[in-house]
Structure 1
Amino acid sequence: MTEPIFHIDRSDILDGSIEEVRVRMRDLAAFAEEREPQLIAYHFYVDESESTMSVIAVHPDTASMELHLEIGGPKFRGFGPFIRMRSIDLYGRPSPAVVNQLRQKAEMLGGAPVTVHTIEAGFSHLNG
């Protein structure tokens, strides 16, 4: 059985950049929805003070995440002038390629740590 990958990242939104970040969030979400039908969920959130952006993605497997990182790379780079990445957390068993790609993304967007959390117990009802 393949295991889903849950991806959560958090970034500080640089002063005066909230509107540009919103435009880029909407563009990236539409881009992913059009090109990645396998994605289970892909959401952007902004906190009440409009100073932090969070991204939550649920991939059905590590291959989905590899594809996302491959085709989304140019879009991720576009956020560079507007955010400073704080953290990337992965839940599941991502491939070494995914972890390496995320470390490169984190370095490009501010040097955030990438942490992998492996499941110990639980279940998902993702298919029904």
Structure 2
Amino acid sequence: MKPSAKKIITKRFIHIETECKKKPKELAKILDIDLSTYYKTKRGDIAPSNHFLVRVEHKLGYRGEWLKFGSGEPKDPEVLLESEIKSQYALINKLKNYELLPILDALPDSPNEKDKNLLLDFLNLFIQKFQ
């Protein structure tokens, strides 16, 4: 990489570290790469591989094109992170375990405030049983 490109990619890595509030060691672990590879890529000593860019997109939500070339926005707002998908999947499983999906499906899409508060009060009362 050219010297100027090295500094630019380093700034993008610093942006990711700052926004994610993670240290390089933590990000390397999340990306499942060696810390030395992370630092070499961050410094611009080696170009980010396609495999590396895919991991950054799927695990951190940052667009590979942005990281490598600086083009476009850092994140695609329509892309769900792997952790968000896992979290939603866990919630759906919990709804299935309580057999609530058919009940929730039968509820109106736009409840009036009184009905919504009644349901929330009931659920909060039920949750107190487990606390």
TM-score class, shorter: under 0.3
The TM-score, its normalising length taken from structure 1, stands at 0.27
More helix per residue:
2
More strand per residue:
1
The one of the two structures with greater contact order (alpha-carbon pairs below 8 A, sep at least 6) is 1
